[in-house]
Amino acid sequence: MHLGADARKREIYEGNPFLADERGGKKILSMKTAEDLRQLLYSIDRKGYPAYKGTKGSYRFGKYVLYIDHVQGDPFAAPSKLHVEVSGKTAGFPEQLYDKKHKRIALQDHLTRLFEEQARKYSFQAKGSGKSGILSVTRCGQEVLERSACALNPANGDIIVRFEAGFPANGRTINARELIKILFDFLPECVEKSLLYQNINSAKAQRVMELSEDQEFIRKELSKRELVAFVADGSVLPRESGISQRPMKGAVAFASPESMRVTMNLPYKGEISGMGIRKGITLIVGGGYHGKSTLLKALEMCVYPHIAGDGREYIVTDAAAVKIRAEDGRSIKHTDISMFINDLPNKKDTKAFYTEDASGSTSQAANVVEAMEAGASAFFIDEDTSATNFMVRDELMQRVIHRDMEPITPFIERMGAIYERFGISTVLVAGSSGAYFQVADKIVQMDRYVPRDITEAAKEAAAEYPGLSYPQDGTPAPEYARKPKKNPGVFHKGRIKIKTMGRDGVQLGHDTVDLRYVEQLADSEQLTCLGYILKLMEEDGFDGKKTVQEQIGSLLAQIEKKGFAAIVGKEVRNQGDIPGNLAMPRREEIFACMNRYRGLKL
């Protein structure tokens, strides 16, 4: 017995970098204690930095288990990756705070914020060279997203928080005493103050749950009442600045026009009123600077829930609504854009349109069709970011340039049929053309940030003008038959490198996927997650039979079952194999990312 323990110690003390607590999912060593870790750290103090590698493993602290999952190679490299696991019994969160998926995500989000608040206080309190002393966890924005930083197991209430720490050094010499500060003084405080129910503000946690329930209630109401979106009276739509997503101070609060006002009785907040945007075609007009784009932007982002105090927490948009815009220069891979574009002078096939450098109109056409393929329920379009010739062709132009000579059937001529045939609504911001009046079901004017229902007056005015003529082809359904070419994938998984470029894109090997114009991505961690998804698909290969739609469909089924574990390419054997910097994108953005990936062979 003692001999075994000695051998084990020796193995640890010699800094074996591959000593792991689990092999093949089976624990082969009994768990080490915090005291073991402390001894180990003393023993490697002042050694060369690589001796830190030997700390990899798991250690039982009083109320949680600390896992050191990955140790950085030197003090200037990306910080080490760790996680803590608190058992449900110890954490003690009442089940009613997480017994539904939306509640669980809201609670995880809340706990991540609490943990972050603590960690921030201690970050760089331990000193040293390079990244020594960093203590950090994901910083959440205004949206509530499912993130890998914090996972709560709904079966037993166990909580995991994944975070980073910069293992301290002087130069490249281990300063173990500083790491002891982090792991034995700071971290226990972080855990105590954020992950134990008895120590946190329980009223606040309760309100997080209540808001999440109310938001979910509104979401369900949307479908019952045939609404695309609900914007509560009193909401604050504009943001503080181009670089801050906080609410603008002193903004004009939202107030629904009487004719569009709906009331709901939320389970916790009680009665609430606001503007209901019905399915069909809604036009938002008004003078420049009157708040049109701000309203649309709020609708776009409210496919996600927002935190209390954001100003948009009672704005809820159909979760499958997609922003559509022009995107010159994107690549298009065999997308059937023939419902908008036909008979190009260069005879290019628009049923399987291919380009590495799309124009404004072809890119916007592809964006529409690809969103349909992804299952979009509504389109949000702002003329500020649209290709004019894709959106509308006025009557005079129609007279001069005959339909037969114009490859583009503009969106305005398809909008009605897209709703009637495919059930996809459109919310369109357009201040420049009255041509939309005839096709819109509802016309809202933004007047000094206050919406007014001007449907009747606008329709009356429009009746005096000659109408546009519409194509008589019944709006053919696009084909979603694109198939990635057969490709066995790679044998050695994990070889393809991915890199997230902030909110702008992801790099997969040598390919950059530009996601700047996929506007409903809320967080760079969603992009990181998309990077993993592309990598997974490339590494697993394609059977040559599944369409893009089917391929993503089966991935989504896996994600539904296994969460982030389904996304991380290599086999996930323990929680340390899942990185702590992922946020779940929507299916719509998974499609958008695949469609912009130039490396995909079709």
Q: How far is the CB of 286 from ligand ADP (least distance, A)?
A: 6
Separation of alpha carbons 492 and 307, rounded Å: 42
491/471 Cα distance (integer angstroms): 51
If the CB atoms of residues 166 and 286 are measured against ligand ADP, the closer one turns out to be 286
**Minimum separation from the CB atom of position 95 to ligand ADP (A):** 40
**Of 556-575, which residues contact Mg ion (CB under 5 A)?**
none
**Binding residues with Mg ion: total (CB under 5 A):** 2
Residue 178, token pair as written in the block: 């500083």
- Residue 292 CB, nearest distance to Mg ion (Å)? 5
Q: What is the binding site for ligand ADP (CB under 6 A)? A: 237-238, 248, 251-252, 286, 288-294, 446, 449
DSSP one-letter string for 131-180: TTT-EE-----SB---BTTEEE-TTT--EEEEEEE---EETTEE-HHHHH
Residues sharing a CB contact under 8 Å with residue 421, sequence separation 6 or more, in sequence order: 474, 475, 477
Contact call for residue 293 and Mg ion (CB under 5 A): yes
Taking residues 433 to 472 in sequence order and writing x for each that binds Mg ion by CB under 5 A, - otherwise, the string is ----------------------------------------
Nearer to ligand ADP among residue 58 and residue 445 (C-beta) = 445
CB of 504 to Mg ion, least distance (A): 22
- Of 192 and 384, the one with the shorter C-beta distance to Mg ion is 384
Q: Which stretch binds Mg ion (CB under 5 A): 106-114, 286-294, 352-360, 590-598?
A: 286-294
Q: Which residues 334-393 are close enough to bind Mg ion by CB under 5 A? A: 384
Q: Please enumerate in sequence order all residues whose Cβ is within 8 A of that of 444, keeping only pairs 6 or more positions apart, or say none.
A: 257, 260, 282, 283, 284, 285, 451, 452, 453, 454
Segments of 233-313 assigned E as strands: 239-241, 244-247, 261-266, 270-278, 281-285
Give me the least distance between CB of 520 and ligand ADP, in Å please: 17
Q: How far, rounded to the nearest angstrom, does the alpha carbon of residue 262 sit from its chain's CA centroid?
A: 29
97 or 428: CB nearest ligand ADP: 428
Q: What SS3 class is residue 445?
A: strand
Residue 565's binding partner among ligand ADP, Mg ion, none (Cβ under 5 to 8 angstroms by kind) is: none
CB-nearer residue toward Mg ion: 290 or 312? 290
Instruction: Pick between residue 290 and residue 393 the one whose CB is nearest to ligand ADP.
Output: 290
Smallest distance, Mg ion to C-beta of residue 384, A: 4
**What's the number of CA atoms in the CB half-sphere (13 Å) around residue 363?**
21
Closest-CA residue to 247 (of 255, 259, 239): 239
User: In the complex, what is the shortest distance from the CB of residue 592 to ligand ADP, in angstroms, rounded to a whole number?
Assistant: 24
Residue whose token pair is 């509504």: 378
Helices within 282-376 (DSSP H only): 292-301, 360-374
| Residue 44 and residue 36 in contact, taking contact as beta carbons nearer than 8 Å | no
Shorter beta-carbon distance to ligand ADP: residue 313 or 336: 313
- Interacting residues with Mg ion (CB under 5 A): 293, 384
